[in-house]
Amino acid sequence: MRILVVHGPNLNMLGTREPGVYGSLTLAEINAALVSLAGELGAEVTLFQSNSESALIDAIHSAAASCDGILINPAAYTHTSVALRDAIAAVALPTVEVHLSNIHAREEFRARSFIAPVALGQVSGFGLESYLLGFRAIFNHIKKGL
């Protein structure tokens, strides 16, 4: 089983970007934790981060031929990108949306997700645990369907 993990814009700045909101964990540390969990579960993980909406869409499109599911933190594109939503719908891979912070407890505009309607579910507000819980959820969903 192979799962694509997609990190959206500005997540490359984790560790220094608004630590009061996002904590001090870096993207490299999140990726290491995901690789470790994937190994424990017997899954493969492909990691991708971009600040470019088109690059994120291309990665999602490519996943259709090589992955069984997607774990995505669309970051700011959560609230603005119909194109990312459409890419996820187009590839028809099971997808789980994750966020480090609780997007529903922040600014009003962050509460709306264009991704949620095409995802199996959303995990937010638990920092690194959001990613790990989301990874386990997508893994278990795919495992049941295989």
Q: Known catalytic residues? A: 22, 99
C-alpha to C-alpha distances, 124 to 63, 101, 111, 127, nearest whole angstrom: 23, 6, 11, 8
> Do the beta carbons of residue 6 and residue 45 sit within 8 Å?
no
84/102 Cα distance (integer angstroms): 20
- Residues paired with 98 in a beta bridge: 123
* SS3 at position 77: helix
Picking from 27, 44, 26, 24, the residue whose alpha carbon sits closest to that of residue 36 is: 44
Pairing between strand 121-124 and 69-73?
A: unpaired
